[in-house]
Amino acid sequence: MVADESTCYLDGNSLGRLPRASLRAVADVMEHEWGRDLIAGWDGWIDEAQHVGDLIGRAALGAAAGQVLAIDTTSANFYQLCAAALRARPGRSTVVSDAANFPTDRYILEGICRDRGLRLVLVDDFDGEGDVSLDRLASVLNDDVALVTLSVVQYRSGALHDVAGMTAAIQRHAALALWDASHAVGVVPLEFDRWGVDLAVGCTYKYGNSGPGAPAWLYVAAHHLDALQVPIQGWFAQADQFGMGPSFERAPGIRGFQVATPPIVGLRCVREGFRMIERAGIGAIAAKAARATAMMVSLHDAWLAPLGCTLVTPRDPARRGGHLTFHHPQAEQLSRAMRAANVIGDYRAPNQVRVACSPLATSYVEVWDGFARIRDLLSSGGHLRAAPPSSRVT
């Protein structure tokens, strides 16, 4: 849905638009399932986290059925899988991540390593393009490393990591690789099964267009399903769930990673969002994203670079995801002025602006018009007349 035809919405990498189908799906579950069926609705709802997980897997992750669960938040899933991975590698004391990784991931790792007396190694970005090279990762790998966790696409720069190559390097030391695909799922073709990925997590509310706070997902490769144990032993992971027995006996397969009741209303939004991805095809979606990102790079170079902007995202199309980041000394003021001009991007302290073409919802015209308005703000000095710093920019 388009709230205002004059809006150039270039922030689908942070929060996707509302699909009309989601309105109908939520109304249907509220009125015809919960409203009519009451508790009998659980006959159909009980396995919804697995069904929607399978949809996400085949539509966007390159994952066969039975390896993806749509549940909880990205942060909760990340904690659960980190803990399970560390439990599976006893005697190892090192965890590796990226100094530029998404804050929640780094914060959770800090807490886990502090509580367990482990060493956290954060790899720095030395090439200035916001990603970790395979050579740089290899330099910190050894047989004391239990877990390596990185993002598929860097949240700031939009840089795309070599998931297959880096996973193979990690596994050569018998460590486990956990990928956060939040900024990649639904815009970058992913082939988790073919690449040999061990574990992954991600959200659904960006390119998945599933709504604010929508349920997240976790992926566990088939050969790890019965070998890993998450720390929270919820009743949905109990083998005989409704036997209500005195002790926990883990359910086999992906169900053993589910803690509690699936959020049915939220899952319907996830279902509709990923049904659209499946119908459109991730290949076609990624192709549009690549064309639009190349267009944004060209417009940046032609219009914004002469006005003091510097591209942060890698120029090599093979090394970037779906969003573009540029630097400007007055990025915060510019972001506020963009909002006032109905160009919605986002600001990242201290001096970066992120923009994206979310392929299912954003038109090339929106990209062109949005960049034209940014150019006009900078050339006229209009960005310096933006709202004061007390107003909120997200």
Mean pLDDT value across residues 17-30: 97
**Residue of 309, 313, 275 lying closest to 292 (CA atoms):** 313
What pLDDT score does 387 carry?
62
Report yes or no: 293 and 373 within 8 Å, Cβ to Cβ: no
Full-model pTM: 0.95
Q: What per-residue confidence (pLDDT) applies to 124?
A: 85
Retrieve residue 113's tokens: 């390593």
Q: Which region among 49-58, 125-134, 228-237, 340-349 has the lowest average model confidence (pLDDT)?
A: 125-134
- What pLDDT, on a 0 to 100 scale, did the predictor assign at position 131? 82
Q: Return the pLDDT at 394.
A: 40
For residue 391, the model assigns a pLDDT of: 42
Amino acid at 319: R
2 pLDDT above the threshold of 80: no
Which active-site residues does the annotation give?
102, 180, 205-206, 354
What's the pLDDT at 129?
54
State the pLDDT at residue 385: 84
Q: Where are the domains of the chain?
A: 8-18+283-385, 20-280
3-state SS string for 139-171? CCCCCCEEEEEEECECCCCCEECCHHHHHHHHH
Six token digits for residue 302:
């032609």
Q: Which CATH architecture has domain 20-280?
A: 3-Layer(aba) Sandwich (3.40)
Work out whether strand 323-327 and strand 352-356 pair parallel, antiparallel, or are unpaired: antiparallel
Query: Distance (Å, rounded) from C-alpha 266 to C-alpha 269?
Result: 5
The tens digit of pLDDT for each residue in 49-83 reads: 999 999 999 999 999 999 999 999 999 999 999 99
Residue 208 in contact with residue 181, Cβ under 8 Å?
no
DSSP string, 194-226: HHT--EEEE-SSSTT---TT---EEEE-GGGTT
Residue 388 has pLDDT above 70, yes or no: no
Strand order in the sheet with 68-70: 68-70, 217-220, 199-202, 176-180, 145-151, 94-98, 119-123
- pLDDT for res 36: 95
Selected from 3.40.50.360, 3.40.190.10, 3.90.1150.10, 3.40.50.300, the CATH number assigned to the domain covering 8-18+283-385 reads 3.90.1150.10
What is the pLDDT at residue 159? 95
pLDDT, residue 4, reads: 73
**pLDDT of 389 higher than 80:** no
Average pLDDT, the chain: 95
Per residue in 334-372, pLDDT (tens digit) is: 999 999 999 999 999 999 999 999 999 999 999 999 999
Residue 17: predicted pLDDT: 97
Residue 99, token pair as written in the block: 């100094």
What percent of the chain stands above pLDDT 90? 93
